Structure 1
Amino acid sequence: MNRREETAPDIIALTAGEPAGIGPELLVMLAGQAEAFPAQLVAVADPALLVSRARLLGLPLVVHELAPGDPLPPARNGELAVWPVPLAVPSEPGVIDARNGDHVLAMLDVAIAACQAGHASAMVTAPLSKAAVIEAGHAGFTGHTEYLRDVCGVEEVVMMLACPGLRVALATTHLPLREVADAITPEGLTRVMKILAKDLTRYFGCAAPRIAVCGLNPHAGEGGHLGHEEIEVISPTLDALRATGMQLDGPLPADTLFTPRHLEGVDAVLAMYHDQGLPVLKYAGFGEAANITLGLPIVRTSVDHGTALDLAGSGRADVGSLLQAVRVAIEMAAAARA
């Protein structure tokens, strides 16, 4: 919970992500709309990188270098408060340099610490390159979600993407497909479902969340003819949770669950793995979706896309998903405060 005065506007910390990607220029674009938000935006980035990217794109930008906890200047379009995190080496748009991998993690650490200390109400992350972080010497790195889980010291988090009209959460996140079935356990599903239900209520006003659950196998296992995970793991787990009062539909075949009839009245869908649920959501709302990490003691959202190295520095990047991520973060911060 933010320890700042309740009457003060929320502060949203924005990490710039992979410096060679579109993250820095998305922050510059967002600064051009700073006055439109009911919160104050702070970039966690290398100030010189933001200025150089703004110059490359021909966009106005004035940066105010501050430390977390310092008073912020009034929001003005074309201006951006920055909590500085210097690059290790200069960055060229579209050209990843693994030597900046530690810089990417350092930005996350600053934003997380600011949220934990009450200097920020939420953090929003621009896309990073997993390969660059791994090549910088962090062999176990699998993504923002897992990194936030570990730094915040929680056992389990849930990745959920949301666009207007649809929320999709994941039982497993960044795993090779051959490892997914073994990762779906009664204990793991129970933790995920409880986090999902709790945070749907806490952040999104769903008093009694109704969740539709995908099966793992085609046709949800076809009665055991196409796999036994539904019979042996998923259905018994859902039955046990229903006995506690949770509203759960499923397990349902994923190829028909994402249809209007099955989604009517549903607050969220739980997919068993990354590419079971997210392609549908991104087709429905790409550029208007936010990536949300549930189960954390802080509020964190992100964009629904990657680093887009081919667009970096071109001025063709779309700021829509970052706008949505900021809007959702502001709404979640207000709900958490309430």
Structure 2
Amino acid sequence: MAKLEKPVAITLGEPAGIGPDLTLQAWYNRKKLGLPPFYIRGDTSLISQRAEKLEMNVTLESCTPEDAAACFSHALPVVQTGPALSDTPGVENPETAASVLASIEHCVEDVLQDRAIAVVTNPINKAALYKAGFTHPGHTEFLGQLAQKHWPDLPSKPVMMIAGPDLMVVPVTIHIPFREVPLALTEDLIVETAQIVASDLNTRFGFSAPRLALCGLNPHAGENGAMGTEDLDVIQPAVERLKAAGIHASGPHPADTLFHPDARLKYDCALGMYHDQVLIPAKTIGFDDSVNVTLGLPFIRTSPDHGTAYTLAGTGMARIDSFSASIRMAHALAHPENFRIRA
């Protein structure tokens, strides 16, 4: 009998959001979507209630991570994590925060204990988590803390990448107010981020010599100092350091001319100096098929490139494209010998 492949671990995400919908739809359409085995860590009763709301005939099976692959062909595997929850689509409830965080923590533990090959996180509602005492700006930073628990001397930090078939981007600063960006943006931060990106593009995505294009901070990349000096004083020296380290880096480039089709042929990943600078073009170009990938972690984590979509929860209207792409990419990244995101 052939040995079953280890599954992908799926987190519960915000219980009142579309995470349960997406997970149910992914399993229901698993063959058509070409999805590998996966399981969700959450509450069986909540997922069952959501299936009823969606009028989906999905068989659920409570199991352990070790048993998930064996039952995946005939049932959606659910690893019970946390107490029973009432299904209230679209209604924020901070009391579910403990279940949301426990699901993330246990999925990470499953991968680190070799029970699963990767983690795919369903969208969370940070506002609800903040009300329950959550202190991290987002998923990325929380996952970095979980990694540090196991590897206190982990040399790198987590880096958020949005990866699609036509564009891959990384914001150097992430979840901070725009007014704080110039102060947070340092030469060392840019260099460290770019080094992590280059390393993971090589080892996980299969680029032998990844090309990185760095955006300028100011309009027209500062216009040689006429519209701000950060491009000359911070970003340009960082680019030179990266080149000296053997990394194919260029910039700073004016961001408004970096994302049209011809420009995208000249690099493999664009690094923006702040969140929206690169996430706006990434989501415009590939909203439905882009994937959030966390680089710099000792485990694989992907996520759909969208939020909880409260208004769609329980309606059957949520699109599954990004979520299914996240599962496929997680599986592919676990098999780097066969993977490259694009030629």
Q: Same fold (TM over 0.5)?
A: yes
* CA drift at 1:176: 0.6
Summarize the Cα distance change of 1:313–1:38 in structure 2 as closer, same or farther, 3 Å threshold: closer
Give the counterpart letter for 2:301 in structure 1. Answer: R
Matched, 1:75 2:56: no
Shift of 1:90: 2.1
**Is 1:150 aligned with 2:112?**
no
Residue 227 (str. 1) matches residue 222 (str. 2): no
| 1:181 pairs with 2:182 | yes
Aligned counterparts of 1:236 and 1:76: Cα–Cα separation in 2: 54
Confirm or deny: 8 A CA contact 2:39 2:78 kept in the other structure.
yes
Give the Å deviation of 1:103. Answer: 1.0
Question: Where does residue 66 of structure 1 map in the other structure?
Answer: 63
Contact between 1:164 and 1:289, CA under 8 Å: does it hold in 2?
Answer: yes
Instruction: Tell me which residue corresponds to 2:300.
Output: 299
User: Structure 1's 216 and 87: CA in aligned 2 closer, same or farther, altered over 3 A?
Assistant: farther
Contact 2:45/2:84 (CA < 8 Å) preserved in 1?
no
- Please give the root-mean-square deviation of Cα atoms over the aligned residues, in Å: 1.8
1:85-164 matches, cutoff 5 A: 85-87=81-83, 89-138=85-134, 140-153=135-148, 154=154, 155-164=156-165
Alpha-carbon distance in 1 for matches of 2:103, 2:211: 36
Q: Which residue is 1:237 aligned to? A: 238
Greater Cα offset, 64-73 or 23-32: 64-73
Structure 2 CA distance, aligned partners of 1:328 and 1:89?
Answer: 30
Return the match for 1:51 from 41, 48, 70.
48
Letter in 2 for 1:316: M
Partner of 1:170 in structure 2?
Answer: 171
CA distance in 1, matches of 2:35, 2:325: 14
Distance 1:166 1:10, change over 3 A: farther
- After superposition, the Cα gap between the structure-2 partners of 1:70 and 1:157, relative to the gap in structure 1 and judged at 3 Å, is same
The CA deviation string for residues 29-60 of structure 1, in whole angstroms up to 9 with x for no partner, is: 01112345463111111111111101111111
Identity of aligned residues (%): 39
Amino acid at match of 1:56: K
Say if 2:198 is the partner of 1:203.
Answer: no
The one-character-per-residue Cα deviations of 1:53-104 (angstroms, maximum 9, x if unpaired) are 0111111111121223346324326x21111113465230000100111111
Question: How many pairs are equivalent?
Answer: 331
Sort the Cα spacing of 1:124 and 1:336 in 2 relative to 1 into closer, same or farther, 3 A.
farther
Q: Does the 8 Å contact 2:7/2:69 carry over to 1?
A: no
Check whether the contact 2:61–2:71 (CA below 8 A) recurs between aligned residues: no
Distance 2:86 2:272 in 1: 40
Q: Distance in 1 between matches of 2:188 and 2:51?
A: 48
Counterpart position of 2:313: 312
**C-alpha distance in 1 between matches for 2:64 and 2:212:** 42
Q: Are the equivalent residues in 2 in contact too, given 1:73–1:81 (CA < 8 A)?
A: no
Query: Is the alpha carbon distance of 1:172 and 1:220 closer, same or farther for their aligned partners in structure 2, counting shifts above 3 Å?
Result: same
Question: What amino acid sits opposite 2:138 in the alignment?
Answer: G
Residue 151 of structure 2: aligned partner: none
Structure 2: runs of 5+ lacking an equivalent: 149-153
**Secondary structure of 1:51's aligned partner:** helix
Name the CA shift for 1:112/1:336 in 2 (closer, same or farther; >3 Å). farther
- CA contact under 8 A between 1:238 and 1:248: conserved in structure 2? yes
Matched residue SS, 1:55:
helix
Q: Which amino acid aligns with 2:118?
A: A
Q: Is this contact kept in 2: 1:12–1:120, CA < 8 A?
A: yes
2:4 touches 2:69 (CA, 8 Å); kept in 1?
no
- The Cα shift of 1:271 comes to 0.9
The residue identity in structure 2 corresponding to 1:289 is: S
For structure 1, the 5+ residue unaligned runs are 1-5
Change (3 A) 1:175 1:88: farther
Aligned twin of 2:27? 31
Q: Secondary structure at the match of 1:72?
A: helix
TM-score calculated relative to the size of structure 2: 0.92
After superposition, give the CA deviation of every residue in 1:156-187 in whole Å (9 maximum; x if it has no partner). 11100011111011111111101111111121
